[in-house]
Amino acid sequence: MHESVFTDQIIKEAKKHGKVKSILVEVGDLAHLPAEDLERTLKKMVKWKVNIERKKADVICTCGYKGEPKIIERRHDLILFSCPKCDSIPKILDGEDIILKEVKVK
């Protein structure tokens, strides 16, 4: 269950700021863990308010396309995507990270 690795890191980092009331986590569309799985796991592990913000992915392809990729398949720990223009595998520019954006403390 690798989502516990991500959630443990987020929780540990948030607690460095004091007694946590809520957190905001940005999850990229191409992150290794889907936003829904991360949110569900965090809510089971903490009593804080958990807010998840989706970040659209941005890719660039050799065909000249720049923008959001076409998501072909998304599973628990796998995401397949391609260029929506030519179906090649584009280079990821942004949207593959999970970032603790905000911590509100009491």
What digits encode the pLDDT tens for the residues 7-36?
999 999 999 999 999 999 999 999 988 888
Listed as ranges, residues in the chain with pLDDT below 50 are: none
Count of other CB atoms within 10 angstroms of residue 90: 24
At 2, list the tokens.
Answer: 């690798």
Burial 10-38 (b: 16+ CB within 10 A, else e): bbeebeeeeebeebebbbbbbbbbbbebb
The pLDDT score that the predictor gives to residue 99 is: 96
Question: What does pTM read for this prediction?
Answer: 0.88
Q: Which domains, and CATH codes, for the chain?
A: 3-105 (3.30.2320)
- pLDDT for 2: 65
Query: Distance between CA atoms of 42 and 46, rounded to whole angstroms?
Result: 6
